[in-house]
Amino acid sequence: MAVSKLYQSDVESILAKRHDNGWDYWATADRRLIKGSPFTTLDCAFMLKELGVDPDEPVLKETAGLVLDSWREDGRFKLAPQGAIYPCHTIHAARTLCHLGYASDSRLRKTFDHLLEIQHSDGGWRCNKFSFGRGPETEFSNPGPTLMALDAFRFTDTLAQCKTLDRAVGFLLDHWESRIPLGPCHYGIGSLFMQTTFPFSTYNLFYYVYVLSFYDKAKKDNRFLDVFEILGTKLAQGKMVVERPNQKLAGFAFCKKGEPSDLATERYNEILKNLE
C-alpha cells in the first residue's frame, strides 16, 4: 500500500521527529526504544506502516533492525539499557515487528515460544510490577498487553494450532463482563475505553474488536457480538469516527478527533471481512 497524498504530511511529520529523542530512529541517545510516546521507535514504526510506508523502505528496515538488536537469546526484548525486562516490552516489540513483516523470523518464533511459556494462569500476560500497590485485582493479567499479544500472535501459524490462545481470548471476553480494573496496571473498561482510538496503541473498544475478530473463539461468543454491535454505532455514513486520538497527534490528518478516518475505516472493514 502506497502512501496517499492525503497522509503524506503525516509521514513527513513523523520522519521529521526521528532525531527528537536524542539519537536516530526516534530512540534516545542510550537507545531507549519506548521513550517519548507517541513518537517512540516502536510507535513511529507502527504508525508509518499504518500510513502506507513500505516496510522495505530503508527507514523501516533500519528501524526494524534496531528493534531486533534489542532481542535476547531467551526470546525477550530489552528496550532500554537499564532496568527490568517486562513482558509488555517484549509484547510491544513483537507486535511492531509482526506488522513490519517479521513474524516468521527465527528470533520472533523464539519470542512467541517464550510468551506461551510465561502465559499467566488466567490466560493473559502480566508483569510483576505493582505501581498501584497490591490487591485482589493485581492477581489477574493486564488486559492491554494481553490484547497486544494476541495482535502479534495472529500473524503466526500458532493462531490455528495453539488452543492456549483461546484462554487469552476468554480472559478478554470475561473482562468485558466484569469491566473492573484488572492486573498490576489496573486496566479497566469505562468511558475512555468506549471511545474509539486510532491508531491502535491503547486498550480501547476499536482495538479490542479488531484483534478479537481474528479469533474464532471470539467470533462465536455473544459477548464479542455485543461489543461489535456497539462499535458499529461509531460509524458516520459508513466510516469510522476517531473519538479519542492521542493529543500529540491532534494535527495529523489520519486521526482527527471527531472526524471519519479512511484508514480507521479500512480496519473496520477488515473486521467485517473477518466476520463473514
Which pLDDT does position 213 carry in this prediction? 97
Please check whether residue 4 is in contact with residue 11, taking contact to mean a CB–CB distance below 8 angstroms: no
C-alpha grid cell, residue 189: 473498561
Going by C-beta distance under 8 Å and a sequence separation of 6 or more, which residues neighbour residue 160?
none
pLDDT at residue 163, as a whole number: 84
Helices (H) and strands (E) in the chain, counts: 12, 3
What is the predicted pLDDT for the residue at 135? 75
DSSP letter for 2, please. Answer: P
CA distance 219 to 196: 20
Q: Determine the residue type at 158.
A: T
Hey, where are the domains in the chain?
A: 1-118, 128-276
**CA–CA separation, 127 and 88 (whole Å):** 7
Distance in angstroms (rounded) separating the CA atoms of residues 17 and 32: 15
pLDDT, position 271: 98
Q: What is the pLDDT along the chain (276 residues), one digit of tens a residue?
A: 578 999 999 999 999 999 999 999 999 999 999 999 999 999 999 999 999 999 999 999 999 999 999 999 999 999 999 989 999 999 999 999 999 999 999 999 999 999 999 999 999 999 887 666 677 778 999 999 999 999 999 999 876 567 889 999 999 999 999 999 999 998 999 999 999 999 999 999 999 999 999 999 999 999 999 999 999 999 999 999 999 999 999 899 999 999 999 999 999 999 999 999
Q: CB neighbours of 7 closer than 8 A, spacing ≥ 6?
A: 51, 52, 253, 254, 263
pLDDT at residue 241, rounded to an integer: 98
Q: What is the pLDDT of residue 160?
A: 56
Q: Residue 187 and residue 15: Cα distance in Å, rounded? A: 32
